[in-house]
Amino acid sequence: MSFDDPSESTHIADGSSAEHPDGETPEIDEGRYLYCLVCADEDADLEQVGVDGEPVSLVTADGIGAVVHPTNELYDSADIAEIRRWLVRHQTVVDAAADRFGTPIPFQFDTILRGDDDRVREWLRTEHGTISSALESLTDHWEYRIEVVDVDPISDERLIEQDDRLGKLQARIDDSEDGTAFLLEKKRDHRLEEVRVARREQIAADLEARLAELVREVHTLERSPTVGLADDVTDGGADGGETYCRLTVLAHADDEGAVGSVLDQVAATDGLEVRFTGPWPPYTFAPELGGDRSSEESSGGVDDQPGGRVP
């Protein structure tokens, strides 16, 4: 899916520029770009260069700090390289805040709060209960992402040896005339596919069950690999294989080693490669703030996002 009408796309793209007073991109008289929320005292600070080179600061209220920079516009671009640079800066700032203050509540890219620092403080105080309990609950918990790839698929011959039905089918094929053999081969190929899918699903289900015993939450992601922003980045060697599963887990830092051990066992299986990344800020497990105001309106929206926070 994409914008089908290039003229419309162009029109929208042009809309945010100063030459187009009828543009659609909202302008903000004064706003604060939000990176994350952390536990921080009143006198704490954080010096970082933010998205688009903006100076980052920490706005605190009642023991909670919002990592922000001032902005009067939304970050919008059709240039993937520029988007990537922004995203990397966003992630770098959140990482720096996490190093300094512990597990943050990370915001989605381009979350902008209208108003000045005082308005941010006011909002922190309004949401204090939700934010502080979420921060407390996430303390020392991080998101880890896991991908299991079959880089050396098991051969048909081995599957035929291992599966009774396949063995019998193969024996009948070997004893049959051409016409009958052709039909039996179709059956065999169908069975081979069934066995392969069952193997994949079994490995994924076993892994998920074992991880669920170790971590607070496990979410299953789409099997298709993410390549969208990887144009000029090596994707870590997951090429050339079939992805068995992609998972993201919320785990305590102390359990990282145990998760790694489980993954070692999966990686010991012939042909399987495991990609394990993290610790990341808990993006997938971040709470919704202020969600009681328009739950009905939002019911068909953000909450239903595929690959989102609810498996």
Partner 1 sequence: MRPRKDDEVLVDVLDVLLRDGAIVRADVIVSVADIPLIGIKLTAAIAGMETMTEYGLFEEWDLERRRSAITRRQYGRRDPEVDRSEAISVGSHSSN
Pick the closer one to partner 1 by CB: 110 or 156. Answer: 110
Shortest distance (Å) from residue 230 CB to partner 1: 5
C-alpha distances (whole Å) from 232 to each of 75, 81, 188, 227, 276 are: 22, 9, 42, 10, 21
Sites for partner 1 among residues 151-210 (CB under 8 A): none
Shortest distance (Å) from residue 137 CB to partner 1: 13
- Pick the binder of partner 1 from 44, 52, 54, 77 (CB under 8 A): 77
For residue 272, what are the β-bridge partners? 150
Pick the closer one to partner 1 by CB: 179 or 228. Answer: 228
C-alpha distances (whole Å) from 169 to each of 47, 155, 158 are: 68, 16, 14
- Pick the binder of partner 1 from 129, 164, 301, 310 (CB under 8 A): 301
Q: Measure the CA–CA gap between 189 and 177, rounded to whole angstroms.
A: 18
Sites for partner 1 among residues 31-70 (CB under 8 A): 31, 34, 37
Pick the closer one to partner 1 by CB: 127 or 185. Answer: 127
Q: Establish if 123 lies at the interface with partner 1 (CB under 8 A).
A: yes
Sites for partner 1 among residues 236-265 (CB under 8 A): 236, 256-257, 260, 263-264
Q: Measure the CA–CA gap between 110 and 75, rounded to whole angstroms.
A: 6
Pick the closer one to partner 1 by CB: 155 or 294. Answer: 294
- Pick the binder of partner 1 from 69, 90, 191, 210 (CB under 8 A): 90
Q: Establish if 2 lies at the interface with partner 1 (CB under 8 A).
A: yes
Burial class of 59 by CB neighbour count within 10 A (0 to 12, 13 to 18, 19+): buried
C-alpha distances (whole Å) from 225 to each of 47, 98, 125, 209, 247 are: 35, 27, 40, 22, 11
Q: Measure the CA–CA gap between 45 and 30, rounded to whole angstroms.
A: 21
Pick the closer one to partner 1 by CB: 73 or 185. Answer: 73
